[in-house]
Amino acid sequence: MFWIGLLAHEGAHYGLLSILSRAGTFSQALAYLPAAAGPLTTLTIVVVTTMLSVRARNETAQRTMFVTALTAASRLVLTAVPTMLGRVNDEQTVGVLTRVPPGMIWSAEALLTGALIVWMIRRLPQHRCLIGPAAFASLAGWVSAFTFGRAVGLPI
C-alpha cells in the first residue's frame, strides 16, 4: 500500500502537468498546481482511508485502511525538516509560487492529517497495536523508495 500511495503521489504531479501542457493552459500563474497535486493526493489518501477505516465492518478492511492512512501520513514526518529549512520539495515549490510560507502549508497539512489520525485511533482503539508495525512499514517503504525508487528514476 505504501508504494501505491507513493506512485499515486508522484503520478499526480506528472498527470496534472501533462494535462495542463496538452490543453495548452500551463502558465506561470498555474505552475503551483502540478507541485500541489502530489501532497493533495496524499492528503486525499489519508482522508479517504481514515473514513473507510472507521466505517468498515470487516476487521481486515479496517486494518488495511488504518495502516494505509498511517503510512500515507508518514510523508509529513519525512518532509518536516526539509520544508522548514527551505529545501526544495512540494511545499517549498507551492509556497514560492503562491507566496504562502512553506512552513504554513506544511503545518496546515500536518494539523489536518494529525487530527484525522487521532480521530481514527480514537474510533478504532483495538488497532493501536498496528501503529508500531505501520511505522516500521513506513520506514522500510521510504528506505526502498530512496534506494530502488531513485535507481529507477522516480523523482523522490
Q: Domains of the chain: which residue ranges?
A: 2-151
Cell readout for 55 is 466505517
- Helix count (H) and strand count (E) of the chain? 7, 0
The pTM is what?
Answer: 0.87
pLDDT at 71: 94
pLDDT tens for residues 93-136?
999 989 999 999 999 999 999 999 999 999 999 999 999 999 99
- Among all chains, which residue has been given the C-alpha cell 484525522? 116
Q: Give Cα separations from 69 to 1, 65, 72, 100, 115 (angstroms).
A: 10, 6, 5, 27, 12
Mean pLDDT on 65-78: 94
* pLDDT per residue as tens digits for the range 5-54: 988 998 999 998 888 888 777 676 677 888 999 999 999 999 999 999 99
- What's the pLDDT band for 156 if we cut at 50, 70, 90? low
pLDDT of amino acid 48: 97
